[in-house]
Amino acid sequence: MASELSHFLAGEGHCIYIFTMKKYRGYAHSYQFDGKIIYVDFPERRHAKAKEFYELWDLAKEIRKQKKKCCIDVAISFMEQCNMANILSNIFFKGKEKVIVGVHTILSARSDLKGIYMNRLLINLLYNKADYVVVLSQYGKIDMIKNYRIKKSKLAVIPNAVIPRKFDNSIPWKYGNKVILSVNRIHPVKQQEIMIDTVAELIQSLPEIRLLIVGNDDGNYAKKLKRIVMERGLENNVIFAGHVDNVEYYMDHSQLFLLTSSVEGFSIVIIEAMNQGLPVISTDFIGPAREILGASSQLGYGKYGMVVPYINEKKKDDEYHRGIQYLSKMIMEILTNPELRKKYVFRSRTRAENYAKEKIESLWREII
């Protein structure tokens, strides 16, 4: 989002500076930015009590120095540590710039994240001092009001934009015509083990089915998934493609996009898949699955995609297995019913138009 926003704002005639901490300098090399990249550094307080607090204060002081040096008029930050440092650099050091902070997850649902950056009282006190708190969905807005008491007047709903990209379509496709695609980081919060269990259920009726998992696959959770695939003899049906640069190529050749996360702030990858005309099935994760796919409280076939009841990967009980069977049934219907799939191909493309780059840029223009 920071990368795309830098291109848009530079095109509007703004002078852009990208502040990034040195320990994350790889991000600055992985993405293309317009503007000047400034690496913010501050001493690590390894042995201090309240280490996070002191590091946050040091970061805020360093950002204040850089803001003053660069004559910043509007400071936009992403993620909690940077958000808090952005706000602190303004209110405690008497800054006059507009402060906009971005929340890209459903904070109240992230029990896996700990520390002061997730402290509800601190979020309430600081985020209400910002000029705007940007969330990605109406679901996220309600979460910030209900659980963090952020003022409605401070909140702006600005989804991520879908950015069409060219891709090489001349590469021979080798995975067949019954491909379920997953594009995401391979992480426990994404619950890809559910997908593997679903494929194991489906191959009894559809032996040619393939699950293509695209994403960095060198972490511990990925190793666990690969071990499960080998133990169950699913090597021909579950393929780990690793990190790829031409994601749209895989979307263009697959028949269905699947998301099984436990929580998502928005999931831009759903919109990217829909933009390529992929029908989408998603579990009812904590976040805006129903909002994006137009599903009612009854779930099932939504206006723009399909939403199945939430499945908890950690609980392999009867409810889990019923969820796998229901998900398998929905996938089977899409892969074997050409008319149903054709309907959702059209609806996917229609829905993606609501997240067009120009529409999202106009929302940013309003608050800047």
What are 69-89's pLDDT values in tens digits?
A: 999 999 999 989 999 999 999
Residue 56 lies in a domain: yes
Terminal Cα distance for the chain, rounded: 15
DSSP class of 293: H
The H-assigned helical ranges of 134-286 are 138-148, 192-202, 220-231, 247-253, 268-275
Same domain, 139 and 186: no
Same domain, 76 and 96: yes
Same domain, 220 and 363: no
- pLDDT at residue 145 greater than cutoff 80: yes
- Counting the structural domains of the chain, the total is 2
What are 101-119's pLDDT values in tens digits?
A: 999 888 888 877 778 888 9
Same domain, 112 and 196: no
**Which pLDDT score, from 0 to 100, does residue 220 have?**
92
Same domain, 340 and 362: no
Same domain, 128 and 154: yes
- For residue 281, the cross-strand partners are 258, 306
* 274 within 8 A of 349, measured Cβ to Cβ: yes
Same domain, 211 and 338: yes
> Structure tokens of 252?
């263009």
Residue 170 lies in a domain: no
Question: 102: exposed, middle or buried (C-beta count within 10 Å: 0-12, 13-18, 19+)?
Answer: buried
- pLDDT at residue 24 greater than cutoff 70: no
Q: What is the mean pLDDT of residues 287-313?
A: 88
Residue 171 lies in a domain: no
What are 316-336's pLDDT values in tens digits?
A: 889 999 999 999 999 999 999
Residue 167 lies in a domain: no
Same domain, 193 and 316: yes
Same domain, 54 and 192: no
Spell out a b/e string for 309-324, using b for 16 or more CB atoms within 10 Å of the CB, else e: ebbebeeeeeebeebb
Query: Rounded to two decimals, what is the model's pTM?
Result: 0.83
Query: Domain containing 115 — which CATH number?
Result: 3.40.50.2000
Residue 173 lies in a domain: no
- Residues spanned by the domain of 22: 2-162+358-367
Residue 150 lies in a domain: yes
Same domain, 15 and 105: yes
Same domain, 27 and 69: yes
Same domain, 275 and 183: yes
Residue 169 lies in a domain: no
What are 242-288's pLDDT values in tens digits?
A: 988 888 999 999 999 999 999 888 888 999 999 999 999 999 998 89
Residue 131 lies in a domain: yes
- pLDDT at residue 23 greater than cutoff 80: no
DSSP 4-46: HHHHHHHHTT---EEEEEGGGHHHHHHS--SSEEEEE-----S
